[in-house]
Structure 1
């Protein structure tokens, strides 16, 4: 089969959408399919790799480091007339995503879309609550033009069904347990963080932005630090909030963006992972921490609702209960043996999750919409 993936973010950009899209692409290729990626040019010297089509892009306002694709309907339509895919997956709802949707519709190519980002929730985090209904309506209009909207959790599928989204399909996520492994724990790295062998490394991994609710992580750490003065807070990632956090908290350890094996070492070298975000559709880092054998405190939705068992793998906190989040972080900071057991339990819980199975399920969705379109064309020809 010939598939096309359209996305407005892609590695080396580091965020959940970019990394998830790349894994889906690799999974399809591993299954023997021809895959094209359509994405914006990320910088002036960016050149397409084999199987890529680059389009014009621009920096995303108020969100440094990320870009969006400019409208490209005519170009995509010409390109897909020459090289017609059997099905298209559109991962983002920006101008490039809308262009792909319109071009595919004009050519009769079946489309699946991915619900990766809660733009409606972002409106709240960026002090534009009045825009939430507008953002939701815009997202619903976009996704309801596709033959299937893929979501990572059953909880989100139920929510979107109730909000008027059609054809919502659950596509579970997985984690690479060979990459994220407790065996990558690095005592030399911990020593560079200023930790003694029995010290407590608390970590946050992810984008440092307003929608990540990072003030709660800071308050939770300050509370547990009163109980564990040997604790250090390790921050892995970048983002627009980093400067302010660094200025207000010069004692934290800032490791910047980490990738590949280095990221795996940073995860496995931690003792407790705090993830206070309330704006995720999933939260891949939750699975990565669990696979790394690290007890986790997170709100009970997304990946945590699907995979993090409260009291067994860490703490899964009821939404918006900040006091419970802080209390759980403090409690786990004091219970060294219990916390280590939780990390081991978490590792075992995610080991059955296989990226190859996600690729097979994704392939089945795309083949399904392609087959339905083919049958519809046959019936139309015979009518």
Structure 2
């Protein structure tokens, strides 16, 4: 159950698409329930249900609840385990139906909702959101989260039965070998021109004002530098006004996205609201020198001055101070080590861990009772 799935372009969709494909490759039957998209969901092979777009962010849709439908479907053909990837109305109805039928349930916590609430000036909403998330996920046998640090923080807030499940990257797709001098020329960049790249949703929670300030610092340091922005969202028009002269490519996926990564020189990632930040891993696998904050993917993947650069979490001044170094160094050594780091994070090990946990939950049941005894 998920509110987002390929061809949606975001980290949650990417992760779920890879997990589902990996499980199917291993012979498992996987049924995906998600809201209808504007384009066909080729990987879905399940139910596409009605959804409602957020009024302030049309690209994000919530699936409508369908508890009765789940109850009818699962009584007739009970799944071994129900996995719920998002906590919206669709996921809540799936959780209620699964618990009513005593089916094993696992969940994932992909999105830093309380941080998003602050980004949208709804800080007062953060506490009730965390309360809802805690109640939701504590009803599952396990909840998957991407880093050990996040596990410690959530445990301190009362979350239970957390399982760390890292993120992976397609190292054949995201590779320095896809560098394209013709694409760089279309950006007005020669082989010697430094090109900075940003990839992500262009939304309030992504700290885009800092991206604009970082570009101003870079341009002052080297007027020949270029900035390329991949992604779309409600803040795009405002960001375009803040960074005149930058290349805005819109949302990209697949080989087109991989060419953009590989054809840049360095990656700027100013977000402070990620649970992981899979774009950092994609950038490193593509051989880019990355500048990020010291948390989530940045903390897990980047060793400062070895395979990238880090600023203390939330320290915008230090982040900006490192932009000229990122621009001037264009370090071949750091980029090669970034690629080496990316090569250690293929999807196979991630899918293996996910599969093992789902099998374990299916065998022992939601509360430690084997499934065959519950359904006897």
Please give the TM-score of this superposition, normalised by the length of structure 1. 0.94
**Is 1:235 aligned to 2:224, yes or no?**
no
Match of 1:64 among 58, 62, 69: 58
CA displacement 1:305-357 (0-9 Å, x = unmatched): 11111111111211111111011111121123xx2211111101221222111
Greater shift, 242-251 or 49-58, is seen at 49-58
Match of 1:351 among 343, 353, 360: 343
Report the Cα offset of residue 63 of structure 1.
1.6
**Is 1:309 aligned to 2:309, yes or no?**
no
Cross-structure match for 2:356: 364
The CA RMSD measured in Å over matched residues stands at 1.7
Cross-structure match for 2:15: 20
Report the CA distance shift for 1:218/1:99 in structure 2 as closer, same or farther (over 3 A): same
Cross-structure match for 2:202: 208
List gaps (5 residues or longer) in structure 2: none
Report the Cα offset of residue 47 of structure 1.
8.1
Report the CA distance shift for 1:377/1:363 in structure 2 as closer, same or farther (over 3 A): closer
Report the Cα offset of residue 50 of structure 1.
6.9
Contact 1:236 1:255 in 2 (8 A): yes
Correspondence 1:143-182 to 2 at 5 A: 143-182=137-176
SS at match of 2:324: helix
Write the distance in 2 (CA, Å) between the matches of 1:169 and 1:244: 39
SS at match of 1:35: coil
Write the distance in 2 (CA, Å) between the matches of 1:58 and 1:119: 18
Write the distance in 1 (CA, Å) between the matches of 2:6 and 2:192: 36
List gaps (5 residues or longer) in structure 1: 1-5
Contact 1:294 1:340 in 2 (8 A): no
Write the distance in 2 (CA, Å) between the matches of 1:326 and 1:102: 47
Match of 1:376 among 349, 369, 376: 369
Report the CA distance shift for 1:378/1:357 in structure 2 as closer, same or farther (over 3 A): closer
Cross-structure match for 2:105: 111
Write the distance in 2 (CA, Å) between the matches of 1:301 and 1:352: 19
**Is 1:318 aligned to 2:331, yes or no?**
no
